Amino acid sequence: MHVFNAALQAFNQLGLPVRMTQADDQQSANVVMRVADGVATYEYDGTTLSHAFDGKRLHGHTMLIGREGKQETEKAAVFLPSNPRSGPMFRGGKAVYEKASLDMMKVIAVHELIHACGLDNKDHATDDGVFYFPLAPDGRGKMIVPGRGKEDRPMPPLRLAGSTTSKVASLWGG
């Protein structure tokens, strides 16, 4: 299941001061999206970058890449799980894992595209939205912001917390 086009469209509908468009090839792309399991690797400027990555978990990983000695990000490599599973849910006393839905993968992919804008894990929203961490499956093929006091409104449709919009705007103007 490849969610790139759906994630790109959903990202661009969030009202952020940055938009993403599909590049003609991987070399000219500022953001590259791949699936991974075991180790996520990306070759850049003669160096292989890697990160341990579990392709069964409902999560992604984004590498913000720049040249040594420069502070700017030149490229981002987004990794999505190759065989994501939701669960465990218990049925008849047995742990059951279900394949992640396209909606779940869209939420994960858009979350990672927000990282690709330059936001780090310390920038995760603490109030709501697609950039909250950790998001959780709702048991019906969607993702929610879990926790007491949260509305548990399933995503998609995607929503952003004001804190996330402000952080992206501080990097991209707007």
Element holding 106 (H helix, E strand): helix 102-116
pLDDT score, position 73 = 86
Planar angle of CA 81, 87, 90, nearest 5 degrees: 160
CA 51: distance to chain centroid? Answer: 15
The whole domain housing 82 covers 4-122
Q: Does a structural domain hold residue 134? A: no
pLDDT at 43 over 60: yes
Long-range contacts, stretch 14-20, CB < 8 angstroms, 24+ apart:
14/110, 14/130, 14/158, 14/160, 14/165, 15/160, 15/165, 16/117, 16/160, 16/165, 16/168, 16/169, 16/172, 16/174, 17/168, 17/169, 17/172, 17/173, 17/174, 18/117, 18/168, 18/172, 18/174, 20/113
- More reliable by pLDDT, 155 or 92: 155
78 CB-contact burial (10 Å; exposed 0-12 / middle 13-18 / buried 19+): buried
Q: Does a structural domain hold residue 168? A: no
Tally of domains in the chain: 1
Are 166 and 126 within 8 A, CB to CB? no
Q: What are phi and psi of 67, to 5 degrees?
A: -80, 150
Its sign, for the CA torsion 63, 139, 143, 124, is negative
Task: Give per-residue pLDDT as tens, 100-112.
Answer: 999 999 999 999 9
Task: Work out the pLDDT band at 86, boundaries 50, 70, 90.
Answer: confident
Q: Does a structural domain hold residue 165? A: no
Q: Does a structural domain hold residue 35? A: yes
Q: Does a structural domain hold residue 90? A: yes
Q: Does a structural domain hold residue 111? A: yes
Task: Give per-residue pLDDT as tens, 111-167.
Answer: 999 999 999 999 999 889 999 999 989 888 999 998 866 777 899 999 999 999 999
Q: Does a structural domain hold residue 161? A: no
Task: Give per-residue pLDDT as tens, 47-77.
Answer: 999 999 999 999 999 999 987 766 778 999 9
Q: Does a structural domain hold residue 48? A: yes
